[in-house]
Chain A
Amino acid sequence: MDEVIVVEKVSKVYASERGPVHAIDRFSMKVKEGDFVAIVGPSGCGKTTLLWGLTGLHPFNGGKAYILGEEVDKPRKDVGIIFQQANLLPWRNILQNVLFPIEIMKENIADYEERVKDLLDSVELTGFENHYPRELSGGMQQRVSIVRALSYDPKVLLMDEPFGALDAYTRDEMDTLLLGIWKKTKKTIAFVTHRIEEAVYLANKVYVMTPRPGTNSAVFDIDLPRPRPEGITMEQKYFEIVAEIKKRIVKDVEKQKEEGVYQSQAYSTVT
């Protein structure tokens, strides 16, 4: 199977007190097996809504979404999800947290302990198994949540601004760490962010969404060497790509303003 995620003209309308909110309008994308795709767009354009649609818990109103050839209608064991907040359960220690999915899926915990310990090691958290989440920094917690999502070895990772709540330095470290994990595990990743620099650094392909209602604006193939060389983010080529995407987004906003359809994103929920 080549196309792991297929999104076909999905739309989502929320009912709210201020009337219906068109969050996504006929957005489409395809992610190949082993690919790393980023989705960028201004805040409130429907990125989170798109990922939630792919979890199967908050279905789209229109269009279709497929993961590994099956239409998405419920949470799947071959999909791992990572949010902006680490969402660890504070009453479970780190080991219990990363084994949480295994418990839910009623698998035999013992079969996974080895694997989970290796994963913890790969994110430099060996020795923290018995700590509680409150004892860990934000970056460490997010690393735990990555291990939790990988614990049951899903083929697909959906990530929603996973490092958005971290400080700039930790964020860059996490980006590099994520690339390492991707290279080693060969997962298919759909990564949502509003930071274009991050998207270009990480992904092979960047989907740009228009401001709300989010729809396809453009797709950029990122032609930078793999693995990303040190200092790539200081190079001319990198800047040019970033600038090109930023220009595209500014143009989208201006176009909407000209047409008088641009809605201030002041009320957008940052989730």
Chain B
Amino acid sequence: MTRVTSKPWLVLIRLSKKQRRNFLLGALGIAIGLGVWLALVYFKLVPKYALPTPVELGKLWQRESPRLLYNIWLTVMRALCGFALGSIMALFVTFIRSWIPVIDTFIEPIVQIFKPVPPLVLSPFMIIWFGSNNKGVITLAIWGSFFLMLVEGHEALKATPLVYLRAASTLGESKLGMRLRVMFPAAIPHLIGAMRITLLLGINLVILGEFSAAAGGIGEIIVHGYRFLRPDLLFFGVLVGIAVAVVLDLLVRIISIRLRRWV
């Protein structure tokens, strides 16, 4: 674990020797990737329509940055909305399930049926039902986040160590208190892990949804580049998609350092 400070973002600056080495190695990896890219395009090892040169990318940015930024924003906003709404709904249902056993019994088979369905299979329905717009794409992300978080949340609550329940119950803890003061806090490390996976799934689903929705976003940039043989657009879309995933994941990690400093 990295050291905990009152300013969590400092972990990015204050690195140990080992972390600095890892960081340098990571940077080296990226540099090699860049090198390969440059070699491929300038020595014409791949056809021109398959990879853009950095100069072409620069020009693309110069020409169309407002539109590109707007599309990135669309994707990020959709992913965050889908992730947040889906997770909150799932945690709410998890709470209800833990409260009322009958509901748990009722929900379990539904979860078992829908959990293995790849959310993407449902994307045509989402778009037909909710439209080629924010609603359709976000609903897809909500769907995926919801089921993932539902399964994880349920597992996490069930795994509450008996000793904590015991400590609280001998003090006469109420049913509500048991959940709010014991079960959910105890589940935090597990839930944070689940949140990271859920957020990445959310980004994935949004971009994939955008492939077919024609409602803007990074997904549409990629499809556009592909359809009109615009390697600059295609490449830009892919790079930005990766960057968004990496940055959002990093943000969740930084936020979670505080939440799980007791681990």
Q: How far is the CB of A171 from chain B (nearest CB, A)?
A: 20
A77 to B173, CA, bound (A): 11
Task: Say yes or no for B151: interface residue by CB 8 A criterion.
Answer: no
Category for how many chain A residues contact B? 20 to 34
Known interface pairs A104-B177, A132-B262, A134-B262. Does A89 touch B170 (Cβ–Cβ under 8 Å)? Answer: no
A75 to B263, CA, bound (A): 30
For window 33-58 of A, CB contacts with B under 8 Å fall at 55, 57
Task: Say yes or no for B188: interface residue by CB 8 A criterion.
Answer: yes
Which residues of B sit under 8 angstroms from A100, Cβ to Cβ? Answer: 167-168, 171, 181
A90 & B172 in contact (Cβ 8 Å cutoff): no
A252 to B186, CA, bound (A): 44
Q: How far is the CB of A157 from chain B (nearest CB, A)?
A: 12
Known interface pairs A89-B182, A90-B262, A132-B262. Does A75 touch B170 (Cβ–Cβ under 8 Å)? Answer: yes
A87 & B262 in contact (Cβ 8 Å cutoff): no
Q: How far is the CB of A251 from chain B (nearest CB, A)?
A: 35
**CB nearest to A57 among chain B residues:** B169
Which one of B164, B174, B177, B263 lies within 8 Å of A89 (CB-CB)?
B164
Known interface pairs A91-B188, A103-B181, A132-B262. Does A55 touch B164 (Cβ–Cβ under 8 Å)? Answer: no
Which residues of A sit under 8 angstroms from B182, Cβ to Cβ? Answer: 89
B166 & A83 in contact (Cβ 8 Å cutoff): yes
Q: How far is the CB of B21 from chain A (nearest CB, A)?
A: 28
Task: Say yes or no for A105: interface residue by CB 8 A criterion.
Answer: yes
Known interface pairs A90-B263, A103-B181, A132-B262. Does A75 touch B164 (Cβ–Cβ under 8 Å)? Answer: no
Task: Say yes or no for B100: interface residue by CB 8 A criterion.
Answer: no
For window 121-145 of A, CB contacts with B under 8 Å fall at 132-134
Interface string of A85-100 (1 = CB under 8 A from B): 1011111110000001
A57 & B170 in contact (Cβ 8 Å cutoff): yes
Task: Say yes or no for A74: interface residue by CB 8 A criterion.
Answer: yes
Which residues of B sit under 8 angstroms from A76, Cβ to Cβ? Answer: 172
Known interface pairs A104-B177, A104-B181, A132-B262. Does A87 touch B167 (Cβ–Cβ under 8 Å)? Answer: yes
Which residues of A sit under 8 angstroms from B188, Cβ to Cβ? Answer: 91
Q: How far is the CB of B93 from chain A (nearest CB, A)?
A: 23
> Residues of A with Cβ closer than 8 Å to B?
55, 57, 74-77, 81, 83, 85, 87-93, 100-101, 103-105, 132-134
> Residues of B with Cβ closer than 8 Å to A?
163-164, 166-174, 177, 181-182, 185-186, 188, 261-263
Known: A76-B172, A83-B167, A132-B262. 16 other contacts (CB 8 A): A55-B170, A74-B172, A75-B169, A83-B166, A87-B164, A88-B167, A89-B164, A89-B167, A90-B262, A91-B188, A91-B262, A92-B262, A104-B177, A104-B181, A105-B171, A133-B262
What are 26 pairs between A and B in contact, CB < 8 Å? A74-B172, A75-B169, A75-B170, A76-B172, A83-B166, A87-B163, A87-B166, A88-B167, A89-B167, A89-B182, A89-B185, A90-B263, A91-B185, A91-B188, A93-B262, A100-B168, A100-B171, A100-B181, A101-B171, A103-B181, A104-B174, A104-B177, A104-B181, A105-B172, A132-B262, A133-B262
